[in-house]
Each structure stands twice: as C-alpha cells, then as structure tokens.
Chains A and B, each alone.
Chain A
Amino acid sequence: MISVHLILFLAFAAVAVAGAINLLAQTHPINSALSLIAVMAALAGEYLLLGAEFVAAVQVIVYAGAIMVLFVFVIMLLNAGVEEHTQGSRVAVLFGIPGMLLGSLLVAWVLLRHSGTEAVAAGALPGSPTTIGPLLFHEFLLPFEITSILILIAIMGAVVLASKPPSSPVPPRKGD
C-alpha cells in the first residue's frame, strides 16, 4: 500500500528534478533562475515532510527569497542575454559520459541494495524554532559567531568589489 507521505514525496521530487533539468536546458539565465526557485520551493516541501518546519520556512525566505532576488537583480543589471553556444571540449565527452554512466550505476546499486533502509516517518523530529534555538545558541555558539564574522567580511568584500575603481581619471571640462 502506498501512503500519502510517499505520494507527496514523489510529487515534490518530480518538481525538483524537473526544475533542475530545466535549469540545464534553458539558455536564458532568467529562465534558469526561475526554475531554480521552483527547485527550492519543492525542497521546502520535502523539509516539511521530514518535520523540519523552521528549515522549510528559512529555505523559502532566505534562499528562494533573498538569494534568488540577488541573482535576478544582477541578471537585470547586466542585461544578460541568451547564452552563446561554444564548442564543447573533447575531454568532457571522453570522461563525462563514462563518469555519468558510472554514477547512475552507483545510484541504481544503492537503490537496489539498500532499499530496505529504515523508513523516515513524517514529522519524526520536531524541528520547530523552540527546539533549534537552544541548540544554535548553546552548543553551536562558536560556529554561529564565526559565521557572523564571515558574513561581515563578505559584505565588505562585495562593497569593495562592486564599487567603481577610484583611479578613473576625471574627464577634462569643456571650457578649459
């Protein structure tokens, strides 16, 4: 008997894989960005199935919201057009196709060999903010503070990199 949980999992997984393949198939970056947003929304559904409700909310707010808005903003800013087609390298064909076959064989072997793994129940682990908060601010306090320094450095680096170079010469005035 197929449970509702499995049906929901397969539906979200189908959306995620279709979005990922669409990201590869599209040539315009804005279409790729929209399909990546679809993948992230589907993954938020998978997180909800696993009981990680806070992670699902943060996935939608931070990933699909903030980070993808940054991507779309840069695509608009640079007026990115359709991708130009260039000749693929021969090394990619030589190693890529056997590597892909090997990888899919490995995935198929895992599915057949370990398909009897213990099932993960829906909502097995309560991932609400009241349970995650104490863990984040007690046991993982040091990594939390280090990531705050990392994001501060990233903000300053982005401002320095994206600002105009200071050495640009001032154009002479017309009247002089």
Chain B
Amino acid sequence: MVPLSYYLVLSGILFACGVTGFLIKRNIITIFMSIELMLNGVNLSFVAFAAHWHALAGQVFVFFVMVVAAAEAAVGLAIIIAVYRTRETLNVDQVNLLKL
C-alpha cells in the first residue's frame, strides 16, 4: 500500500525536472523532450487520482493528454526541421530575430 502523496511527490519531481530542463537547455530538441517529461509527470498524477477516487475518467484523460502530446510532437518537430533549414542551427540562443 503506497500513500497517494508519494505518487504526487514523484509526479511533482518529474514536472520540476521538466521545467528545469526547459529553462537551462539550449538545444531545441532537448527542450521539446523536457516538455514531454512534464506531460508524463501530469499523467502520473491523473492515474494516481483516478485510483484514489475510484473514478475511471482520470485514466481516459491520460489518453487525451497522449493525443495532444503526439500532435504537439509532430508539429513541433516539423517546426524544428523548418528552423534548421533556414538558420542551420539547433541552438535557441541563435534564433533571436524577435528579440529586441
């Protein structure tokens, strides 16, 4: 028997790692992977709450999160390919046309 708080703390740690990677990484592909890590942390808390409250809808929402993650990955990676084609770099510090 594992308390619900353990699952939530694990979910929070994974989410915090995702936020940290999003902020400190400079490679745009790794930044995308950090976003996937955050979505995974949220999914874990969805499933844990579903088991805790005996509500199966929480598990259904995980599928919707996965669909949105798949759509986001497809569009995002296409954008990365387009950026690489024009700028020839994956470093986000060098993609700064909108910066003042």
Contacts and interface: CB of A to CB of B under 8 A. Distances in A.
B73 A36 contact: no
A117 B81 contact: no
Contacts of A40: 40
Given A71-B33, A74-B81, A120-B4, A55 B64 contact: no
B90 A78 contact: yes
Contact of B91 (A20, A84, A119): A84
A170 interface: no
B interface secondary structure, majority: helix
A105 interface: no
Contact of B81 (A23, A55, A77, A118): A77
A102 to B, nearest CB: 11
A120 B60 contact: no
Given A20-B14, A78-B81, A151-B70, A120 B29 contact: no
Interface string A47-72: 10111101100110011001100110
A116 interface: yes
B71 to A, nearest CB: 4
B50 to A, nearest CB: 6
Interface residues of A, number: 81
Interface in B47-100: 47-48, 50-52, 54, 56-57, 59-60, 62-64, 66-75, 77-82, 84, 90-91, 93
B3 A50 contact: no
A125 B50 contact: yes
A54 B59 contact: yes
Nearest to A33: B33
Contacts of A162: 78, 81-82
Given A47-B47, A162-B82, A143 B9 contact: no
A154 B80 CA distance: 14
Given A127-B56, A157-B78, A80 B29 contact: yes
Interface of A: 3, 5-6, 9, 13, 16-17, 20-21, 23-24, 29, 32-33, 36, 39-40, 43, 46-47, 49-52, 54-55, 58-59, 62-63, 66-67, 70-71, 74-75, 77-78, 80, 83-86, 88, 92, 96, 100, 103, 107, 110-111, 114-122, 124-125, 127, 131-132, 135-136, 139-140, 143, 147, 150-151, 153-155, 157-159, 161-162
